[in-house]
Amino acid sequence: MLKQSLCLLRGVSPSERGQVWRFLFGMFPCSSTALERPLLQEQLAVRYQVMKRKWQQLLPACVRLRLNGTDAELVAAVKYYEQSKKKSQELCHDQSEEVQERLSFLELQAQVLFERVTFDLEELQEAIRIIDKDVPRTDRDLGYYLGEGSGNLLVLRQILITYAAFHPEVSYAQGMNDLCSRFLEVLDSEVDTYWSFSCYMEKFSRDFRADGLHRKIELEAELLKELDPQLHAHLVTDNMDRLTFCHRWLLLGFQREFEHSEALRLFEILSCDHLELISQQVDRARYRERLAHKHSLEDKPAPEPQGINTAFTFELFICAAVLLEHRDTLLMCRNEVQLIQFTSSLQGTLDLNSILEKAEGLFYNYCKRSAWDHLNGHCRTRKSKEDQFIHQLRNLFS
Query: How confident is the model at residue 303, as a pLDDT?
Result: 47
Domain ranges of the chain: 2-205, 211-397
Q: Is the dihedral of CA 325, 330, 332, 338 positive or negative?
A: positive
184, 159 Cβ separation under 8 angstroms: yes
What is the pTM assigned to this prediction? Answer: 0.81
Q: Which residues of 149-166 are buried (b: 16+ CB within 10 A; e: fewer)?
A: ebbbbbbbbbbbbbbbbb
Topology of domain 211-397, CATH: Cyclin A; domain 1 (1.10.472)
- Using left for φ > 0, alpha for ψ between -120 and 50, and beta otherwise, residue 243 falls in alpha
Cβ atoms within 10 A of the Cβ of 124, count? 20
Query: How confident is the model at residue 275, as a pLDDT?
Result: 45
Q: What's the rounded Cα separation, in Å, for the pair 10 and 205?
A: 27
Residue 176: pLDDT band with limits 50, 70, 90: very high
DSSP 297: -
Measured over all CA atoms, what is the biggest interatomic distance in the chain, rounded to whole angstroms? 101
Sorted by sequence, the CB contacts under 8 Å of residue 135 that are 6+ apart come out as 65, 153, 154, 156, 157, 160, 177
DSSP 7: B
Residue 82: pLDDT band with limits 50, 70, 90: confident
Q: pLDDT digits over 240-285, tens only?
A: 667 888 888 988 889 999 999 999 999 998 888 654 444 455 556 5
Burial of 61 (0-12, 13-18, 19+ CB in 10 A): exposed
Q: pLDDT digits over 116-134, tens only?
A: 899 999 999 999 999 999 9
